[in-house]
Amino acid sequence: MAILGTDIAHAKQLLEQGQLVAIPTETVYGLAGNALNPDAVLSIFKAKERPSFDPLIVHTDSIEKIERWVTHFPKALKALSTAVWPGPLTILLPRNELIADIVTSGLETVGIRIPNHPLTLSLLQSLDFPLAAPSANPFGYISPTQAAHVNEQLGDLIPYILDGGSCEVGIESTIVAWENNQLHVLRLGGLSVEVIENLSHQKVTLHLNQSSNPHAPGMLKSHYAPRKPLYIGDIDQLLKQHTGKRIGVLSFQHAVPDINIQRTLSTKGDPHEASKNLFRFLRELDQSDAEILISEFVPEFDLGRAINDRLRRAAYSE
């Protein structure tokens, strides 16, 4: 298993040697390697068993550094990112030759962000290269929001996990692009559409293609999924449809009577609390003795949109 700790100097040394380190962010834990080192990036894909056509997000600590690795930084994206970063926003920018093809799956744009976690920001400030860091879990499975989650699944494949406690946001970053003089949201995430529109003073276009050939991370139809079947809809109806089975229930605000295996995302009905709990509760239900899992959608506002997006992808089957 990997060593857990808070030794930034040790993490830095490993990354400079081309090794991988799991890092905490405000969204989820990332599996990090030197984004300018194709061999290190390849080892990320191998450890996660991630298909090479699914691009990675790059992390750094300043806009000044970002400008070293891109050819153009649109004013609208710079203004938005300046208002949000460090925070759960990823922007797509045209990359230069320093960012290896393997990072972007051959695309001419790279997703990049400044994460909001003190340990990881300190680490990034000490490095002269950015970190490619998708979620630190086997490809397609529930994203990790605690160091122990990473160790359970990838601990035998990496030397060190920088332990930053539980992730505050709990779902991945929102991905935004600037196309045709408009802001486009390509992936819903930890920064709500309402906040983006308020900060940018413009209407955002949603472009949430679910694709087997994505042009941004996190766009695959099936993703963030438990091992057990997950069904989404009216909980009472789903319980009737699956009578006789051991069922794990994930509800939004209210507990379900007479169900032993269940988790409630937020008794206060708070979408931010619900997002923080989503992946942890899905993981706990998946590790229970339930045969199947059922859930309901949350109200479609604020981070509720992103939660519902994750639930749809977690329940998707061909």
| pLDDT tens column, 74-127 | 999 999 999 999 999 999 999 999 998 999 999 999 999 999 999 999 999 999
Kindly report the pTM of this predicted structure.
0.94
Q: List Cβ neighbours of 3 (8 Å cut-off, separation of 6 or more).
A: 159, 160, 161
CA 163 to chain CA centroid, Å, is 17
What is the structure's pLDDT at 212? 45
Tokens 């794990």 belong to 248
193 near 53, Cβ under 8 Å?
A: no
Return the pLDDT at 213.
47
Residues with Cβ within 8 Å of residue 119, at least 6 apart in sequence: 6, 8, 23, 24, 162, 164
Question: Considering the chain, what percentage of its residues have pLDDT values greater than 70?
Answer: 95
Distance of CA 316 to the CA centre of its chain: 18
pLDDT in tens, 36-79: 999 999 999 999 999 988 999 999 999 999 999 999 999 999 99
- One-character DSSP codes across 40-83: HHHHHHHHHT--TTS--EEE-S-HHHHHHHBS---HHHHHHHHH
152-200 residue pLDDT tens: 999 999 999 999 999 999 999 999 999 999 999 999 999 999 999 999 9
Q: Quick one: which of 54, 59, 51, 77 has its CA closest to 22?
A: 59
Q: Which residue has the tokens 């992808």?
A: 313
Rounded to the nearest integer, the mean pLDDT of the chain is 94
Sign, CA torsion 88/92/98/102: positive
DSSP 132-158: E--BSSSTTBPPP-SHHHHHHHHTTT-
- What pLDDT is stored for residue 223 in this prediction? 73
pLDDT, tens digit (0-9, with 9 covering 90-100), for 188-234: 999 999 999 999 999 999 987 655 445 566 555 567 889 999 999 99
Q: Delineate the domains of the chain, giving CATH numbers in brackets.
A: 3-206 (3.90.870.10), 230-315 (3.40.50.11030)
What pLDDT shows up at residue 316?
Answer: 74
The pLDDT score that the predictor gives to residue 207 is: 84
Tokens of 23: 């890092």
Q: How many residues does the chain have?
A: 318
Query: How far is residue 90's CA from residue 6's CA, in Å, rounded to a whole number?
Result: 25
Buried b (16+ CB within 10 A) or exposed e, 166-193: ebbbbbbbbbbbbeeeebbbbbbbbbbb
- 306 three-state secondary structure: helix
Q: Is 68 exposed, middle or buried (0-12, 13-18, 19+ CB in 10 A)?
A: middle
| Per-residue pLDDT tens over the stretch 287-310 | 999 999 999 999 999 999 999 999
Question: How far is the CA of 249 from the CAs of 72, 228, 235, 252, in angstroms?
Answer: 47, 12, 8, 10
